[in-house]
Amino acid sequence: MPRWLPQVLGYALSAACLWWVLRDYPIRQLLPEIRTLDWKWVGLAVAFDLSVYVCHGWRWLLLLRPVARVPFWGTVQAIYVGLFANEVLPLRPGELIRCYLLAHWNDILLSVVFCSAAIERLIDGVWMIAAFVVTAHYVPGLPADLLDVVRLTGALTAVGLAVLAYVVLHKTHAHSMVRESRWAVTLRHIVEGLHTMGNPGTLASVVPVSFLYFLLQVFSYWALMKAFELDLSFWAAAGVLTIVRFGTVIPNAPGNVGLFQAVCFYAMHKLFGIESNDAKTFSFVLFFAQTLPLLVCGAIATALTGLNLGEIHAHARKGWQAGQIKLPEEIE
């Protein structure tokens, strides 16, 4: 596949979604609508959203503790650099960048750090599916296509959990399965990482923090709904969050622009009965409330590395392809 093709497809998807949301929408009313918001609730929504990633750093630290003692603020900085990359670069390279930075700063194998990110996503998937089940109880008549997506996600999450459990319980067998592979060394590191971080003691400390991580995201959505004076419950906020997360899982344009608004509008209007223009306005305000603070914090976190984002991304790509761990010596 040509390297440019995924980017073209991602931008095309985002443009189509943005056109769908903006058609018949009185864009001139957006600023007047924003002025009528209750800004105390908007500020609270932004504070909740920023605290999500501080909680994420705490969880990452706990997950990596059996492997290495990583500094708390170092994990938070790597996360914000990755978030900044996702907001300004296409196809969501932030996961690679945050893992690469943490591996370099703490002399950890990159494959092991990727293991920790994979375990994070498995746990997040469990909480997301649980939230969707609760939401489905309060919102009858959900579309069959949406239910199929959630079932597929649940099946993939179950497979991932089964692989994790197998590696934790049968490390020797897992080693023997990968020793003939062309990537045998990397896969052995992955097996070791999964076995070390997937122990019951570590998961017992990580799972509750993951619940807090998810809860803070719900509170951010709910606070912004209060700023709009929408008559929606906390569970509705959890439902909108879950659907937005499911809908934006496909890597596309920077910041998920277009796709984010389309999925949020769909959830608010089609599932929770919010008037069409109000749902579209909410999707834009939610996007700005989450994106602008991340751009500021992410730019600061990136500047503190001593390199610009393009250089970090290039080094991360080369390091992953070459199987190296460290960035050049400029980053200290």
Which of 126-135, 173-182, 204-213, 304-313 shows the lowest mean pLDDT across its residues?
173-182
Torsion, Cα 248 252 253 255, to 10 degrees, reads 30
Which of 122-136, 244-258, 288-302 shows the lowest mean pLDDT across its residues?
122-136
pLDDT at 226 over 90: yes
So what's the pLDDT on residue 130? 84
- How far apart (Å, rounded) are the C-alpha atoms in residues 77 and 74? 5
Q: Which residues contact 8 (CB under 8 A, 6 or more apart)?
A: none
Which of 48-62, 133-147, 271-285 shows the lowest mean pLDDT across its residues?
133-147
pLDDT at 118 over 80: yes
Q: Which residues contact 60 (CB under 8 A, 6 or more apart)?
A: 70, 75, 79, 102, 116, 120
Of 268, 230, 224, nearest to 247 by C-alpha is: 268
**Per-domain residue ranges of the chain:** 31-322
Task: Render pLDDT for 145-184 as a digit per residue (tens, 0 to 9).
Answer: 777 777 787 788 888 778 777 776 666 665 566 565 555 5
So what's the pLDDT on residue 329? 42
Mean pLDDT of the chain: 86
Q: Specify the higher pLDDT residue, 86 or 174.
A: 86
pLDDT at 332 over 60: no
**Residue 270: DSSP 8-state:** I
The model carries a pTM of 0.89
Of 126, 125, 132, 147, nearest to 238 by C-alpha is: 132
So what's the pLDDT on residue 200? 86
pLDDT at 40 over 90: yes
Q: Which helix (H) or strand (E) holds 250?
A: none
Which of 19-33, 103-117, 171-185 shows the lowest mean pLDDT across its residues?
171-185
Binning pLDDT at 50, 70 and 90, where does residue 330 land?
very low
CA angle 222, 223, 229 (to 5 degrees): 90
- How far apart (Å, rounded) are the C-alpha atoms in residues 2 and 17? 24
So what's the pLDDT on residue 291? 96
So what's the pLDDT on residue 195? 66
Average pLDDT (6-33) is 93
So what's the pLDDT on residue 326? 44
So what's the pLDDT on residue 295? 96
